[in-house]
Structure 1
Amino acid sequence: MSPPPPPLGRPRKKATHSFDPALDDADLVAARTALAQGRWSEARTLLAGTGDDWDRRGHRIMVLAQEPTTTAWVRDWLLVEPESTDAAVLLACAGVHRALAGKVRPDKIRDGCLDAAALVPADPTPWLGLLLLERELGREEDVVRLFDEVRHRHPGHHHAHHLMVARLAERRAAAGQDPLHEVYDFAAWAAEQAPPSSPLAVLPVVAHAERYRVLAKAGTEPADPKASGHWAGRRARVVMKAAFDWWLEWGETPTGAARPRDRVDLNFLAHAKYCEGRPAEAAALFHRIGPHVTPEPWSYPDRDPYEAFRAARSAALGTA
């Protein structure tokens, strides 16, 4: 999901920004490092411990699958443990990333994902891999069908809903700022269907960000959102306020266990405040989001939110 930059307050140069999809999952980072060095036992332990936490399992497998050496080392893992379903799913998802990079034929990878899905019928992760592949390469009906397969196994799957929003946002790019666009309806429907504690409550915000990405690419909106009214409309303010209110209330589970906020991306809300010309409020939001702020939001990759935070803080302190 969202990469963690250095903690707020630490000086850094823009050239040092990096996109790390592992978030602040230290166990995942350690397993990824070990796997890149050929030590697959750490990945085996990590995935075994993840169990049927499908959101976290999908995130961890996709991060491990992105590494260029994963396919080779997981094949070694399967030679030692041919019955390992974790290895089979990880190998299939690694194939998805290779297919998206043009290194293997998509048809072969589709078959591999289906084989992995047959081994673990309850696991949505092989279907998530297929959804990721078809979101880029497939037909609309295939994307919808695969989303249904994921949702059948885990109705609130965070990553799958984000992929659907991204795909839907690309429909009818020439329509411009249509408040009735289907991406907004889908996001609102998903948020309403989700349990009160679900991170899908933020999906309407994601829909606005993804739609802006599409409109900016099509040339119907400026590359700089500050020059656009997309974020300043009443509907945009309502959905962003609702998302942030939900995040503030998302403290602990009834059992007292802290909820993993690393699955939530509220950058869109903070960036919107900045684009509305309210840098002090944006700075406060960046501070609350902390290590989950992305250095480059999807909507406008040339803007650095950390610089906005520093500028707002300097203005508040009366310093240059």
Structure 2
Amino acid sequence: MMARDGARPAYDPAGPDAALRTALQEVRTGRWMSMRTLLTETASWSQWTQRTQVLAAAAAGTDVVRAWLAEEPDSVPAVVMHARVAVERALRAARGDHRRTQELWHEAWLAADAATRASPHDPVPWVCLLALARLDREQRWDEHRIPAPEPMLPPGPWGLLAQAGKRDPYNREAHHRMLQFLFGRAASGRLAEAVGFAQWAADGAPPGSALHVLPLYVRVERYRRAGGHDAALDLHWVAEDATREARRAFHNWFELSTAPERSPLDLNHLAHALWGALQFAEATRVFDAIGPYYAPLPWVHRTSDPSDHAQAVDVFLQARSRSAAQRP
């Protein structure tokens, strides 16, 4: 890990959550007791959502959750984690165009649906169903073409988003899953619907909510689809609207939230946006908050090869150094 001393950062999916890091280490070795203890002790829905998501990414290539569920079939956390893992596997299969995608999608839907009944006050099963909506590219399912609450937005899985929001208002992951659904609709490159959604969500979010960072994710996606890694595209980040979005996220989220509430991914997107907009004083404050918890996104999109994380680290370090050197 690094401090702000020039050492090269390394990505850690647990971020500053030391208890989650311990559970992840156990999961990777096929043990589930630490995961059970961690989830039993998790107090807030926002932390529950984030921890189950990270744990599922680590557990998806193992049978650890299946072993836990076999041992404790009445465990609600085990049922929820079973849904999480099933969804993660279905999404990975879809990304790889795997022949079992349809089968895994069906299994994941059944697991998530079961979790809604096992844990009725939990937003995560609904987040799981929302994550699967992106696989229904033609919106054949009725629940994926519900009229939007805002006339300018398209039909989609709004009912699933509302169910998650009923249980955890302004749930961060639920809104990111909705954004990914809209990115999938914009396969031709047009992102107007995603832009509208991100602005609508940010405008309706309370002070300190991570939803104020959503427009920055859309801007990164627009940059990525335009080709990225092109000096001519640097104007994308210093445009008036880009600067306004970065500063709004800084003032409405960063300055009004506490460290435990901040996702490293959101912090990295904000630092990236402020640096790109030449807002060096604010960027340096965000880099200080990032500390050792670097995330490859969005830095990989500033490189010639998004699969080369070493290049992404170089861009991150250059941005951090330049911001610190040029702040007033």
TM-score category, normalised to shorter length: 0.7 to 0.9
**Residues 207, 256 of structure 2: 8 Å contact kept:** no
Residue by residue over 1:2-60, the C-alpha shift from the partner in whole angstroms, topping out at 9 and shown as x without a partner, is xxx63332423xxxx65432222111111121123333221111111114x22211111
Residue 255 of structure 1: aligned partner: none
**Residues 283, 308 of structure 1: 8 Å contact kept:** no
Distance 1:139 1:127, change over 3 A: farther
Alignment of 1:126-141 (within 5 A): 126-140=125-139
5+ residue gaps, structure 1, are 253-257
The number of aligned residues is 294
Report the alpha carbon displacement of residue 137 of structure 1 after superposing the two structures with TM: 5.0
Determine whether 1:26 maps to 2:18: yes
Distance 1:236 1:47, change over 3 A: same
**Taking structure 2 as the reference length, what is the TM-score of the superposition?**
0.76
Alignment of 1:1-320 (within 5 A): 6-12=2-8, 18-51=10-43, 53-68=44-59, 72-102=63-93, 105-140=104-139, 142=144, 144=157, 145-172=159-186, 174=188, 181-213=192-224, 216=225, 221-224=226-229, 226-228=231-233, 229-250=235-256, 259-262=260-263, 265-276=266-277, 282-283=283-284, 285-297=286-298, 300=301, 302=303, 303-304=312-313, 305-309=315-319, 311-312=321-322
The 2-side partners of 1:310 and 1:266 are apart by: 13
SS at match of 1:105: helix
Identity of aligned residues (%): 35
5+ residue gaps, structure 2, are 94-99, 145-155, 304-311
Report the alpha carbon displacement of residue 299 of structure 1 after superposing the two structures with TM: 6.9
The 1-side partners of 2:251 and 2:293 are apart by: 17
Distance 1:310 1:207, change over 3 A: closer
**Residues 268, 297 of structure 2: 8 Å contact kept:** no
Residue by residue over 1:91-131, the C-alpha shift from the partner in whole angstroms, topping out at 9 and shown as x without a partner, is 12111122223366211221111112111111111121222
**Residues 74, 91 of structure 1: 8 Å contact kept:** yes
Residue by residue over 1:224-260, the C-alpha shift from the partner in whole angstroms, topping out at 9 and shown as x without a partner, is 26422322222111111111122442255xxxxx652
The 2-side partners of 1:32 and 1:98 are apart by: 17
Distance 1:186 1:11, change over 3 A: same
For 1:118, the aligned partner's letter is R
For 2:128, the aligned partner's letter is G
Report the alpha carbon displacement of residue 160 of structure 1 after superposing the two structures with TM: 1.3
**Residues 226, 277 of structure 1: 8 Å contact kept:** no
- The RMSD of aligned alpha carbons is 3.1
